[in-house]
Structure 1
Amino acid sequence: MRFSVFTASTPDWTPQQAVAELAAQGWDGVEWRITDQEHTEVPGFWAGNRATWPLSGLEERLADIGTLTRGAGLAYSGLGGYARCFERTDVARLLAATATLGAGRVRVTMPLLATGDYRDLFAGARKDLEWATAEAARLGVAVLVELHHETIASSASAALRLVDGLDPAAVGVIHDLGNLVIEGHEDHRAAFQLLGPYLQHVHVKNVAWHRAGTGPDGTVSWRPAWATLRDGQADVGAYLRALREHGYDGWVTLEDFSTALPLAERTRDNLAYVKGQLGLSS
């Protein structure tokens, strides 16, 4: 396995700082966050993230992205795009950028459940993925569907229904440990077996559920919150070992949205932790 960091989780660093820090810590690669975002004075994961490349004008920045990444000795685990599958113009731009950079694969996000009838959303997304897969194949790259709560593809079973029959050389699935704590969990080994050749990428973070309150009738409500790799409800070590036993030898991308530790300490500790769980030297 090779280990990378998704820059959604490194909001305090500029791209220059991100590659310098990650290379110095011994990471194998980087997964760049690419999206237009709201500007904020204080950097955050989803707005004001300094390690994000804007989608607007992306084509003019590709040379800089390539120079920074290669110059630091890092590989691309992929690109973290935010374009919805039905936003075909933006999907095409992301696929072209992936090909130009030699990044291999790019995430394309699925429709949110709240935006319509599941059956209609699913049928539309399937048609969009058929188009995206053909375009990806033409460019020699792959489009990735992430298992994500509150979308039409929160579980491995749902994602398989979405991509089944499409060319696995041009479309795959991101198995996301943390997201599955919130919604979509299935036995991991069964999910890996089910996805087969579509299991092409892995995201690792952790989540814990907390009491959010108690109603007047005594009913307890709960909410999920990002947690450190050690503190969340998912057993990260068991998960990584299950991946290895399955034969997975691809990218494992960390995207830790906890804030208990300062960013540099957090990324350094995460790399040591995941390698330690696999018995690898850090």
Structure 2
Amino acid sequence: MFTASTPDWTPAETVARLAAAGADGVEWRVTDQVDDGTVGFWAGNRATWPLTGLEERLPEMARLVRDAGLACSAIGGYARCYQHEDVDRLLAATAALGAERVRVMVPALNGSSYPALFEEARKDYAWVAERAAHHGVKALVELHHQTICASASAALRLLDGLDPAHVGVIHDAGNLLIEGQEEYRSAFAMLGPYLAHVHVKNVAWRQTGRREDGSAVWSAEWAPLRDGLADLGEYFGALREHGYDGWVTLEDFSTALPLEERTRDNLAYVRALAG
């Protein structure tokens, strides 16, 4: 479970409840977040570790995971590949925790020239690969809408020629329903050794209004795993056919069920799908 999706729980509560629900690991969210007095996925998330002062918190992070009988599947970082100082700190922290993998984000689409953004990101990720090798860990590009790597094809272009021992891709079935969807088997085959991690959530598109010309307006909303557009049974079947045997991290941002209930239900559902 990625702790972005467990905002109500402290780190200690998170690992205890994940262990009780039958999880194998936890993926810590690490970022300096906004604290506006509310509790939510992206602000006021109680299961988030701040990047500021991270090094001093590593022993506690490791102890909580160890005492709960879990593993740390990865670090969910928010530093982008051009933020070299923060990236290197996350790589070092990942090595210290024995987590092996850390998300290093790519540039968001910001109205700049896509070719220029992509060219600079290629240079930055070459640097990231070198630093990941230095620390003995792997940096992960997440397929994410509204970034330069919304699809497997784009991520392969970014990483092509870099050592897959130290860079890889997070395939995310939910994000791809918003932008970048490619047939699962083709995408996995395309990524080959770069397929390094999997995130699972789901999305539903709903009609939310009409424009002045009468055409429909559609919006993507996070949905419970069983209720979204992604056929997760097919997804896990394609992962098995490909031979994927790595981590599968849940990050359900729907709120139809209370957090503890949806955590238990999601773990049971995905375990059944994974066989």
TM range (shorter): over 0.9
**Which residue of 1 is the match for residue 68 of structure 2?**
72
**Which residue of 2 is the match for residue 207 of structure 1?**
203
SS class of match (2:264): helix
Tell me the amino acid that sits aligned with residue 47 of structure 1.
Answer: A
**Which residue of 1 is the match for residue 152 of structure 2?**
156
SS class of match (1:76): strand
SS class of match (1:148): coil
**Which residue of 1 is the match for residue 81 of structure 2?**
85
Q: Deviations over 1:63-101 (max 9, x none)?
A: 000110111111111000000110000000000000111
**Which residue of 1 is the match for residue 43 of structure 2?**
47
Runs of 4+ in 1 over 4 A off after TM superposition: none
User: More deviation in 149-158 or 208-217?
Assistant: 208-217
Q: Deviations over 1:194-253 (max 9, x none)?
A: 000000000000000011211232111111000000110111111011101110000000
Tell me the amino acid that sits aligned with residue 67 of structure 1.
Answer: R
What TM-score do you get using the length of structure 1 for normalisation?
0.96
User: More deviation in 209-218 or 80-89?
Assistant: 209-218
Aligned mate of 1:113, from 95, 109, 127: 109
Stretches of structure 2 that go unaligned for 5 or more consecutive residues are none
Q: How much has 1:34 moved relative to structure 2?
A: 0.2
Q: Does 1:234 align with 2:226?
A: no
Identity %: 67
SS class of match (2:12): helix
Aligned length: 275
State how far apart, in whole Å, the 1-side matches of 2:145 and 2:248 are: 19
State how far apart, in whole Å, the 1-side matches of 2:208 and 2:113 are: 29
State how far apart, in whole Å, the 2-side matches of 1:22 and 1:52 are: 15
Q: How much has 1:115 moved relative to structure 2?
A: 4.7
**Which residue of 2 is the match for residue 176 of structure 1?**
172
State how far apart, in whole Å, the 2-side matches of 1:113 and 1:230 are: 30
**Which residue of 1 is the match for residue 262 of structure 2?**
266
Q: Deviations over 1:140-187 (max 9, x none)?
A: 100000000000000000000000110000000000000000000000
Q: How much has 1:42 moved relative to structure 2?
A: 2.5
SS class of match (1:114): coil
State how far apart, in whole Å, the 1-side matches of 2:257 and 2:225 are: 12
